[in-house]
Amino acid sequence: MKLAHGFAAAAAAVLLALPAQAEVKVALDSPPDLKQSGTYVWANTFANYLNEHGMDAVEYERNALGEEAERLDQVSTGLLEVSMSDMKSAGQLDGTIFGTSMPFFFKDGEELDKALDEGGMLERINDGTTPHGVRVLDIVYLGLPAGIFTTETPVRTFEDFAGIRMRALDELQIQVFETWGAKGTIVSWSEVPNALQTGVAGGYINPPFVPLVYGHTSFIKYFTDTKSSNSVRIAIASEDWYQGLSDDERAIVDDATAAAHDANRDFLLEREAVFADLEAAGIEVIELPDEEIAKFREASQPLYENVDMPEGAFEAWKAAVGR
């Protein structure tokens, strides 16, 4: 009997010493809506691929594992494997990524993707972020390009934008609004509904699906389709976790990333219906004439030199798109 107990104890010790297949936590940044949220399409495809190929991936609801800053810290220290995050997160580590959101810089998403892939900009971004423990797996589209949502003032010309106080994500976005003649006030996302309803802010810039997903349709009245910038966020992973994977596991993660990327881009092709969804929700969709778009583009030119990027990054973005 003692011998049997000894063998059992030895076997248990061996099992405990073997590496366990750890759960891959995927922190979401939006409601789990495959119809409206491009980032959820990416995250869900990624997690499903891992699960189908023997890796245990679990989705965690938005902010269940902390807000943006907390998730960035968890990823960089290896406590969180994958997070759907904002540009500001990776931008704290290397500002090269801010180039993806320069207003009116890219012709369309296809040009941005070409710059990231063929132009080597995703690799350059990771050269700056991975030493800090964060790998940018992919640039992820939330939806169609961003436009201007307002509660009271319809923006039918460039001049109409002047004087509106817009909800801003950060100081950089305030600078953008001021360059276009408006004002900005920084409001956390959780406080946006109250800010819009009380007049603290008169609108925000976001992709077309946002008020539909977040329940803002009762106080948002107008959407001006400026296509000012590609509406992108990022999928980031812990570099320690990524490098600690076996070769087979890392290949699965890379393939999952590719599958999620393709699903996200396919999602965009089907999003034109969102404009009908806005109209059905009582939001007027406004198409700007080319000459008004040109005014926004011209006003945006000085912004590019002021984007907080490392030396040479802006020139690299220009080279990546052939300018």
- pLDDT tens column, 152-165: 999 999 999 998 99
- Give all strands of the β-sheet with 284-286 in edge-to-edge order: 203-206, 147-150, 222-224, 284-286
The pLDDT value recorded for residue 36 is 83
CA 20-24-29 angle, 5° bins: 165
- Percent of the chain scored above 90 by pLDDT? 74
Q: What's the pLDDT band for 17 if we cut at 50, 70, 90? A: very low
Residue-by-residue DSSP string for 126-162: HHHHGGGTEEEEEEEE-SSPPEEEESS----STGGGT
From the candidate CATH numbers 3.40.50.300, 3.40.190.170, 3.40.640.10, 3.30.420.40, the one assigned to the domain spanning 147-229+274-320:
3.40.190.170
Q: What's the pLDDT band for 71 if we cut at 50, 70, 90? A: very high
Side-chain-side CA neighbours of residue 264 (13 Å): 29
Any idea what DSSP says for residue 81?
S
Parse the chain into domains and list their residue ranges. Answer: 22-143+231-273, 147-229+274-320
Does the pLDDT value for residue 6 go beyond 60?
Answer: no
Mean pLDDT lowest among 188-197, 249-258, 300-309: 300-309
Higher-confidence position of 1 and 184: 184
Antiparallel, parallel or unpaired: β 24-27 and 82-85: parallel
What's the Rg (C-alpha) of the chain?
22
Segment 104-125, tens digit of pLDDT: 899 888 999 999 999 999 999 9
CB neighbours (10 Å) of residue 76? 20
Q: Which residues in 90-116 are b (16+ Cβ under 10 Å) and which e?
A: bbbbbbbbbbbbbbbbbeebebbbebb
Instruction: Identify whether the C-beta of residue 99 lies closer than 8 Å to the C-beta of residue 121.
Output: yes
Does the pLDDT value for residue 132 go beyond 80?
Answer: yes
Segment 268-287, tens digit of pLDDT: 888 888 999 999 999 999 99
Structure tokens at 5: 């107990």
Segment 229-249, tens digit of pLDDT: 888 999 999 999 999 999 999
Is residue 298 packed enough to be buried (19+ CB in 10 Å), middle (13-18) or exposed (0-12)? Answer: exposed
Q: What's the pLDDT band for 20 if we cut at 50, 70, 90? A: very low
Q: What's the pLDDT band for 9 if we cut at 50, 70, 90? A: very low
Q: Tell me the three state secondary structure of residue 115.
A: helix
The pLDDT value recorded for residue 21 is 55
Q: What are phi and psi of 252, to 5 degrees?
A: -65, -45
**Fold identical between 22-143+231-273 and 147-229+274-320?**
yes
Mean pLDDT, residues 291-304: 91
From the candidate CATH numbers 1.10.10.10, 3.40.50.2300, 1.20.140.10, 3.40.190.170, the one assigned to the domain spanning 22-143+231-273:
3.40.190.170
Does the pLDDT value for residue 11 go beyond 50?
Answer: no
The pLDDT value recorded for residue 136 is 97
Mean pLDDT, residues 176-205: 95
The pLDDT value recorded for residue 271 is 83
Q: Tell me the three state secondary structure of residue 285.
A: strand
Does the pLDDT value for residue 253 go beyond 90?
Answer: yes
